[in-house]
Amino acid sequence: MTVTELAPRFFLAAVVILLVCRGVSWALGRVRQPPVVGEMIAGVLLGPSLLGLLAPGLERELFPPALLPVLYVVGQVGLVAFMFQAGHEFRSYLSRAIAGTAVTVSAAGITVPLVLGAGLTFLARGHVDIFVPGVSTGVSAAFVGVALAITAFPMLARIITERGLAGSRFGSLALASGALDDVVAWILLAGILSVHTGRTRPVLEAVGGAALFAAVVVLVLRKLLDRAMAHPRMSEEARLLVTVAVLFTAAWFTDEVGLYSVFGAFGIGMAMPRTAPAERVVHTTSYSTRTVFLPMFFTYSGLNTRFSLLDRPALLLFSLAAVVAAVIGKFGACWAVARLRGEPNAVAARLGTLMNARGLMQLIALNVGLQAGLVNHSLFTALVLVALVTTVMTSPLLSLLDRRSPVPDPDQDPAAAGLPPVEVEARLTAQ
């Protein structure tokens, strides 16, 4: 297919993707699911799991194989915009004394599901067709473990913002723990790729690149963005151009070192100042780009998901076991550790619920595994099911917790809301 033939196919596919994603998101919004959940499900519906099953000719016409790389690249732009906004929002949640609990919760939320996922994969050896020829069982097990250990940080940030939980203790803990989770998970994924290829360079690049990127953001880019946003002679267009240039450069660098573009975007979002000009630039950069381009990524993932494979009893059983391991490993471990750290049950239960969502970030990891030849379509489908179930259950569980054990307003009862003792004393003194 030539470029001139591909361009009109892309525009037609884009119209279909945007309308279907908007329609499904609207329908699920009626039951308080965030828009990103609707886009995830819409992406699966447009693939072989539904459209390809009902009208395979139409699916091939709408999404020819030559179009898939285009959808992937365009979808990356949406992901970068989404994570840029998430990083900017996250910066405002760092005022609470949550570091110790966040690190502990993150460690449990990585270790337990990783062990459970790897153990389940070893048990499946010889019984379920989820292994790629030439890929060792250990590498496959480690990949499944990392996939279950991931938290959907961007979606978690969106749920927290849309439900008005920004600034709550469990919201801040979930954001901090989720961010740590995913940074560690990407480094582990780079390690898995290193073992698979027999080269140590990927993991060294990931660790060294992460340290170099953090240093450049703190020492150089943050000051550059501060001056650009505050310069009195700089127009809105110039501020936008500087920001996008820095954002895309960060996305390129973190992609090159194996941390992937989403973390470069997140870092730049955190580096943006909290001023009115910066807020306008963030909104302009992220809103339209994320709205138009992010659905492309979900559709790309959906086109690689084949739920018809779940008619195989062994694969269906593995998929259900993976869902159970994911929920126990993430929700159970984060809840238990938060309780051990002295958090009230109302805070710990919500923290575990938020950390259990995997959605977007797990889909990114699965696509990395698919492109690297670590994952076949059976395992891809099973883990997409995990991503969907654990993400869809988040909002209903939060609503159930709100009805059964509402969290007290920290301004009215800071001690009951689970705030640190120093902040409790400060609030009570202010009252």
Percent of the chain's residues with pLDDT above 90? 40
Segment 82-94 mean pLDDT: 74
96 pLDDT band, cuts 50/70/90, is: low
**Mean residue pLDDT across the chain:** 84
pLDDT score for 144: 95
Between CA 105 and CA 343 the distance in angstroms is: 11
pLDDT in tens, 181-223: 877 887 888 788 777 776 667 677 778 888 899 999 999 999 9
Coil, helix or strand for 347? helix
Give the pLDDT of residue 427.
44
Tens digit of each residue's pLDDT (9 = 90 or more) over 119-166: 999 999 989 999 999 888 999 999 999 999 988 776 777 677 667 776
Q: Which two tokens stand for residue 42?
A: 């819409």
Q: What are phi and psi of 242, to 5 degrees?
A: -60, -45
Confidence category of residue 273, pLDDT binned at 50, 70, 90? very high
Q: Cβ distance 28 to 53 under 8 Å?
A: no
- Please report, in angstroms and rounded to a whole number, the separation of the first and last CA atoms in the chain: 69
Among 55-59, 239-243, 325-329, 423-427, name the one with the lowest average pLDDT: 423-427
Is there a contact between 127 and 314 (Cβ–Cβ < 8 Å)? yes
pLDDT at 20: 95
**Taken in order 203, 140, 365, 92, is the CA torsion positive or negative?**
negative
Question: What is the spatial distance between Cα 369 and Cα 51, in angstroms, rounded to a whole number?
Answer: 24
- Residue 86 contacts residue 154 (beta carbons within 8 Å): yes
Q: How would residue 411 be classed by pLDDT, with cut points 50, 70 and 90?
A: very low
CB atoms within 10 A of CB 394: 24
Per-residue pLDDT averaged across 261-279, rounded?
89
Q: In the predicted model, is pLDDT for residue 236 greater than 50? A: yes
- Record the pTM: 0.81
pLDDT band of residue 172 (cuts 50, 70, 90) is: confident
Q: Which residues contact 35 (CB under 8 A, 6 or more apart)?
A: 25, 29, 158
Half-sphere exposure of 387 (CA within 13 A, CB side): 35
Closest CA to 132 of 387, 377, 381, 384: 377
Mean pLDDT along residues 95-110: 81
pLDDT at res. 256: 85
Cβ neighbour number for residue 249 with a 10 Å cutoff: 14
Is residue 273 a contact partner of residue 92, using CB atoms and an 8 Å limit? no
Q: What is the pLDDT of residue 415?
A: 41
- Could you report the per-residue pLDDT of 412-424, keeping only the tens digit for each? 444 444 444 444 4
**DSSP label at residue 274:** S
Q: Give the pLDDT confidence score for residue 416 in this predicted structure.
A: 41
